[in-house]
Structure 1
Amino acid sequence: MGMLRVMSRRGDDRLTWDEQKALVKDPEALAAVREAERIFEQERSKGATAFRIETGKPAQRIDKFDATAEQIIMVPRVVGG
């Protein structure tokens, strides 16, 4: 299972997808992956930073959506004032 988490003032919004079902072209799984990729690109265009999280490994900054990631966390740009 993959998960995209987008941090916000409300906490975090989550979207999940089943990578195995997506590999066999399950329409629902493919739709979830497309939506996660759309949100990823939208957040990146606003300046968010993305991190790939894998159990037992250090977080890795990424610039492109990876449907095989266990978890992707999007951190919005921090604006001072």
Structure 2
Amino acid sequence: MGMLRVMSRRGDDRLAWDEQKIQAGDHEALAAVREAERIFEQERSKGATAFRVADGKPIQRIDKFDATAEQIVLVPRVVGG
């Protein structure tokens, strides 16, 4: 199971997809992963930083969407003032 988490003022928004269902061609799972990729690209274009998070592994910064990731966390650009 994969998950995209987008940090915001409200906490975080989550979108999950099932990799096994994607491989089986499930239309809902394919739509979920396409939406996650769209959100990923949209947030990255606004300056968000993306990290791949997996239990027992070091957190890794990523620049491209990875549908096989256990969890992707997007942190918006921090603006100082």
TM-score calculated relative to the size of structure 2: 0.99
Runs of 4 or more off by more than 2 Å in structure 1?
A: none
Aligned length: 81
Give the counterpart letter for 2:43 in structure 1: E
Gapped regions of structure 2 (runs ≥ 5): none
Task: Say which SS state the counterpart of residue 13 (structure 1) adopts.
Answer: strand
SS at match of 1:55: coil
Letter in 1 for 2:47: G
1:24 Cα deviation from its structure 2 partner: 1.4
Measure, in 2, the Cα distance between the counterparts of 1:40 and 1:63: 10
1:40 and 2:40 matched: yes
Q: CA offsets, 1:7-30, max 9 Å, x none? A: 001100000000110011110100
Q: CA deviation at 1:71?
A: 0.2
How does 1:24-63 map onto structure 2 within 5 Å? 24-63=24-63
* Alignment RMSD: 0.4
1:22 — aligned with what? 22
| Structure 1 residue matching 2:40: 3-state secondary structure | helix
Identity over aligned pairs, percent: 85
Normalising by structure 1, what TM-score?
0.99
